[in-house]
């Protein structure tokens, strides 16, 4: 199986997500908030990669919403990098994303992350901060 990436990036208030003045969101807001349509291939950028949500603090409500609704997902045709493990080659497979709904792939970090761990970690998650 592939190792999951748990990294601690020191991103200091470089929030790529839009935040609200009053960072409290009601359940009704979650149901009615508009979701822009994003092409995973053409419009991938760092702000929608799961790794951009790894912070050294708890995420704000608006960041959680963005992470849940806007996280980049690789297209089925995406060429995942090949890793050499001993004398065998291994590669992440797109079907893992359907089998495990909590799993999210990061193009920037070239690895898989637990979406819930990124969203609800108090201090960035990862080894030593779990």
pLDDT beyond 90 at 2 = no
Res 88: pLDDT: 94
pLDDT digits (tens, 9 = 90+) for 89-121: 999 999 999 999 999 999 999 999 999 888 887
One-character DSSP codes across 47-83: GGSGGGG--SSPPPHHHHHHHHHH-----TT--PPEE
Q: What is the pTM of this model?
A: 0.58
pLDDT digits (tens, 9 = 90+) for 36-72: 444 444 444 567 888 888 877 788 888 888 888 888 8
What is residue 46's DSSP assignment? G
Q: What is the mean pLDDT of the chain?
A: 71
Check if the beta carbon of residue 126 is closer than 8 Å to that of residue 119.
no
């Amino acid at each position: 199986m592939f190792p999951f990436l748990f990294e601690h990036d020191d991103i200091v208030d470089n929030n790529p997500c839009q935040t609200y003045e009053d960072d409290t969101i009601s359940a009704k807001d979650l149901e009615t908030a508009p979701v822009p349509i994003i092409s995973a291939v053409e419009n991938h950028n760092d702000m929608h990669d799961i790794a951009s949500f790894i912070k050294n603090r708890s995420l704000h409500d608006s960041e959680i919403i963005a992470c849940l609704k806007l996280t980049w997902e690789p297209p089925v045709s995406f060429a995942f990098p090949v890793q050499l493990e001993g004398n065998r080659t291994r590669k992440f497979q797109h079907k893992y994303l359907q089998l495990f709904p909590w799993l999210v792939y990061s193009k920037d970090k070239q690895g898989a992350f637990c979406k819930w761990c990124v969203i609800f970690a108090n201090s960035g998650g990862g080894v030593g901060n779990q």
